[in-house]
Amino acid sequence: MMKRVVLAIALLMFLAGCSTTTPEDLTVEEEPEDGEASASGDKSEGELGVVATMGTQYANIRLVRVATGLEHPWAVAFLPDGQMLVTERPGRLQLVNGDGEMEEVSGVPEVKSQNQGGLLDVVIHPEFEENSWVYLTYSKPDDSGDETSTTLIRGVLDGTSLNDVEELFTQDRYSEPGRHYGSRLAWTGDQKLLMSVGDRGSDPPRAQDLGDHAGTLLRLNDDGSIPDDNPFVDDDDAHDEIFSYGHRNIQGLIVHPETEEIWATEHGPRGGDELNLVVAGENYGWPTATLGLNYRNQQDFPDSKARRVEGMVDPFYEFLPTHAPSGLALVTTDRFENWDGDLLAGGLRSRRIRRVVFDEEEVLHEEELLLHEVGRIRDVREGPEGNIYVLTDSSSGSLYRIEPQ
């Protein structure tokens, strides 16, 4: 018996030593993904219509399932005619009408759908009614199919066809596929397009290199060209597209319609999920400065020097416990009068929305919404009529509408 115990221990030690997984190979933002999301506790699939009514601290709300059967949906955009565009990570763009019926839009380019990669964000041009332009981001495979880059395209939407598709941007370096693509889009008031690019996971210090697109927020003209007033256009060692850097993986992004403030939520490792007020030219620290910890032992994260570093911007707020933020909306509608001016930050691992009340200096209050009601939340948007829309991330995800009761 003793020999068997010794042999079993030796075998376990050998297997542990042979593992090629490092702390950098792990991520809590997608747990239980890295694999795929578990269906356990996920209530996102079901009949259309009113799912629940519930009270919150300052509003009674009704949760309505608008569409279902979406395979890992990632983003929703609203068309002037009341229909919606929804991306599915395996590479499909769906046109969804008010009855929840879906038609797939043709003309979407080939994507590399692996783990967190695939077809990602979607927005329409501010002057869509004149030009019909739709913008999409995705993980583009290289010629071998082994590596990918975060890429931006646009095309003209004609019914259920995306025509005249053109590539506007692809990051400068292809990497092993699977993680940290970033890939949120948002328009500024002067019709500049912001686009996040994640650090791609395997080599976090790339986010500190201005000669690398990884770990940045970009600012582009609507045709993909570079605005003359970008902060690094006169720096020969920096990519001109970069607006800010030192980001790990921004997956929530909005521009305040009145103040033009840019708000972003981004994933930390174990802890360190951040809400940031993003300013042109600033360094947001990752991985040199992070409030997150090593996955394996809760010690300092590899490549970090301190929790705060002079000259690097501290997060406006750290979400605790781990939130794994994805999707961000600013409430501007009088339909939710007591939420006006608040941020709604979706959470994957936390399976909730966090309503964030803040002033110019700090977060004042938080409330949890939809706690474990619908599963992993991938996107949160304010619709044109003032209701709040939510996408859940699962193999059969749903699109929900939150409306006043």
What pLDDT, in 10s, does the model give residues 166-223?
999 999 999 987 899 999 999 999 999 999 999 999 899 999 999 999 999 999 999 9
Question: In this predicted model, what pLDDT tens digit does every residue of 72-122 receive, in sequence order?
Answer: 999 999 999 999 999 999 999 999 998 899 999 999 999 999 989 999 999
pLDDT of residue 44: 57
Q: Provide the 3-class DSSP secondary structure of residue 232.
A: coil
**pTM score:** 0.90
Q: Provide the 3-class DSSP secondary structure of residue 12.
A: helix
pLDDT of residue 398: 97
Taking residues 261-280, report their average pLDDT. 96
What Å distances lie between residue 39 and 42, 190, 375, CA to CA? 5, 42, 8
What does the alpha-carbon distance between residue 88 and residue 81 come to, in Å, rounded to a whole number? 21
Work out the pLDDT band at 17, boundaries 50, 70, 90: very low
- Residue 120's nearest CA partner among 83, 73, 190 is 73
Is the distance from CB of 112 to CB of 175 less than 8 angstroms? no
381, two tokens: 């948007």
pLDDT of residue 367: 98
Domains of the chain, with CATH numbers?
Answer: 27-404 (2.120.10.30)
Residue 36 or 306, more confident: 306
Is the distance from CB of 145 to CB of 109 less than 8 angstroms? no
Instruction: Please confirm, yes or no, whether 125 is among the known catalytic residues.
Output: no
pLDDT of residue 349: 94
Is the distance from CB of 68 to CB of 86 less than 8 angstroms? no
Of the residues 180, 213, 267, 323, only one is catalytic, namely 180
Is the distance from CB of 119 to CB of 74 less than 8 angstroms? yes
Work out the pLDDT band at 32, boundaries 50, 70, 90: very low
CA torsion, ordered 48, 49, 52, 58, to nearest 10 deg: 130
Q: Which residue type does 161 have?
A: S
Q: Provide the 3-class DSSP secondary structure of residue 197.
A: strand
Q: Is the pLDDT of residue 35 over 50?
A: no
Is the distance from CB of 235 to CB of 255 less than 8 angstroms? no
Question: Within 10 Å of residue 358's Cβ, how many Cβ atoms?
Answer: 18
Q: Which residue type does 232 have?
A: F
Q: Which of 253-257, 269-273, 364-368 has the lowest mean pLDDT?
A: 269-273
What Å distances lie between residue 43 and 38, 207, 284, 365, 397, CA to CA? 11, 36, 36, 28, 9
Mean pLDDT of the chain: 90
Q: Which residue type does 272 have?
A: G
Return the sign of the alpha-carbon dihedral for residues 66, 69, 75, 78.
negative
Question: In this predicted model, what pLDDT tens digit does every residue of 312-366 receive, in sequence order?
Answer: 999 999 999 999 999 999 999 999 999 999 999 999 999 999 999 999 999 999 9
Q: Is the pLDDT of residue 13 over 70?
A: no
pLDDT of residue 120: 98
